[in-house]
């Protein structure tokens, strides 16, 4: 199949080209993300391949349909960047990678907790300036904490299993409890989860129900000094309100690998630019905040799974007109 690959970085090209040897698709790589300004690049491609920050809006899909697009494949588990109703209206199939590597995200989540909780990033910056003073670098031990895992799908389950080795108390919240999770964690109701969790890590999809789930109304119910971790989707947090609660000390620490307006910033080198997003710039000034650039997925194992599953999705669609990994 002839496929236009948007938001393609060097690692995308390398992995997709490597595993395409077994599939034989005709891949054309475009570094810009898909948007109303770049969608003309997809003209004549029956397959379009995108990533998390591509803007696959109804207007974009309307144009893609006119260009002959028949399938849109996202190289991610989440698909909130795609207007599914518009795709269905035009008979365009939407497919995803349901589980590229839950362990990659889980390990990164723990890395964020340990890095910020033990101030490893501060120690690293000090030592690079030949400052080996350890005053101000006091951290905490995970075994003394209660960690709340919000969402116990594949990634949440792996986070819980990995956390269990640290000896901490683990609480879980999900509308659909999982028996495997119960071996390591205790499911509790929302108020108990909020009241007793020292650390809260989010592992749920972005839906209308979960959009800004931590906001002006819900944040006050959390434990004073709570440590919030988000490696799922940026818009789970109301950033402006989070900043307010960071300033008053209600939130003690914040580690985020995602940001609700990240599409204009992440995956780009903007080091020589004046920051224009006031909330992101403000977050980067807090000593108790750690921001990374939506890279929790980025391991060799995950890239292989993403490439093989994505290319397989296109191949299955070519053969049958359907796909096991379709959504909507």
pLDDT tens-digit series, residues 72-126: 999 999 999 999 999 999 999 999 999 889 999 999 999 999 999 999 999 999 9
Nearest to 26 by CA among 17, 18, 35, 34: 17
Annotated catalytic residue: which of 25, 203, 260, 262?
262
Residue corresponding to tokens 């049958």: 320
Residue 16: pLDDT band (50, 70, 90) is very high
Fold of the domain built from segment(s) 2-100+299-327: Rossmann fold (3.40.50)
Q: Which of 75, 212, 294, 308 is the catalytic position?
A: 294
Q: What are phi and psi of 104, to 5 degrees?
A: -60, -45
Q: How many CA atoms lie within 13 A of 270 on its CB side?
A: 15
List the domain boundaries for the chain. 2-100+299-327, 102-291
**CATH T-level topology, domain 102-291:** Rossmann fold (3.40.50)
d(CA 246, CA 281): 14
294 is catalytic: yes
Across the chain, mean pLDDT equals 97
Q: Is 143 a catalytic residue?
A: no
Residue 284 CB coordination number (10 Å): 12
Any catalytic annotation for residue 262? yes
Residues 224-265: tens digit of each pLDDT: 999 999 999 999 999 999 999 999 999 999 999 999 999 999
Whether 2-100+299-327 shares its CATH topology with 102-291 is answered yes
Indicate yes or no: pTM above 0.85. Answer: yes
Q: What is the pLDDT of residues 17-68, one digit of tens each?
A: 999 999 999 999 999 999 999 999 999 999 999 999 999 999 999 999 999 9
Beta carbons of 202 and 227 less than 8 angstroms apart: no
Selection from 12, 17, 59, 46 nearest residue 32 by Cα: 12
Find, among 201, 190, 222, 129, the residue nearest to 159 by Cα. 201
Which entry of 96, 203, 233, 260 is annotated as an active-site residue? 233
């Amino acid at each position: 199949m002839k496929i236009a690959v948007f938001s393609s970085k060097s690692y995308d090209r390398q992995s997709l080209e490597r595993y395409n040897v077994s599939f034989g698709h005709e891949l054309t790589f475009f570094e810009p993300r898909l948007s109303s300004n770049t969608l003309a690049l997809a003209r004549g491609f029956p397959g379009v391949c995108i990533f998390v920050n591509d803007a696959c809006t109804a207007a974009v899909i309307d144009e893609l349909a006119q260009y002959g697009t028949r399938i849109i494949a996202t190289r991610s588990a989440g698909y909130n960047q795609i207007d599914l109703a518009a795709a269905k209206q035009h008979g365009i199939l939407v497919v995803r990678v349901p589980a590229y590597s839950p362990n990659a995200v889980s390990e990164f989540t723990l890395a964020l907790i340990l890095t910020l909780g033990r101030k490893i990033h501060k120690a690293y910056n000090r030592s690079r300036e030949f400052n080996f003073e350890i005053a101000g670098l006091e951290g905490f031990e995970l075994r003394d904490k209660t960690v709340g895992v919000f969402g116990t799908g594949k990634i949440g389950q792996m986070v819980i299993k990995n956390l269990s080795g640290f000896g901490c108390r683990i609480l879980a919240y999900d509308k659909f409890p999982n028996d495997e999770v119960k071996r390591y964690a205790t499911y509790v109701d929302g108020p108990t989860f909020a009241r007793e969790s020292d650390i809260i890590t989010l592992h749920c999809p972005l839906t209308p129900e979960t959009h800004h789930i931590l906001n002006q109304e819900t944040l006050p119910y959390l434990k004073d000094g709570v440590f919030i971790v988000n490696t799922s989707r940026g818009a789970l947090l109301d950033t402006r309100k989070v900043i307010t609660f960071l300033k008053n000390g209600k939130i003690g620490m914040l580690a985020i690998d995602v940001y609700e307006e990240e599409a204009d910033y992440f995956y780009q080198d903007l080091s020589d630019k004046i920051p224009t997003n006031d909330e992101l710039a403000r977050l980067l000034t807090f000593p108790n905040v750690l921001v990374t650039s939506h890279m929790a997925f980025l391991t060799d194992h995950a890239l292989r799974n993403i490439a093989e599953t994505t290319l397989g999705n296109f191949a299955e669609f070519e053969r049958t007109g359907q796909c096991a990994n379709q959504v909507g």
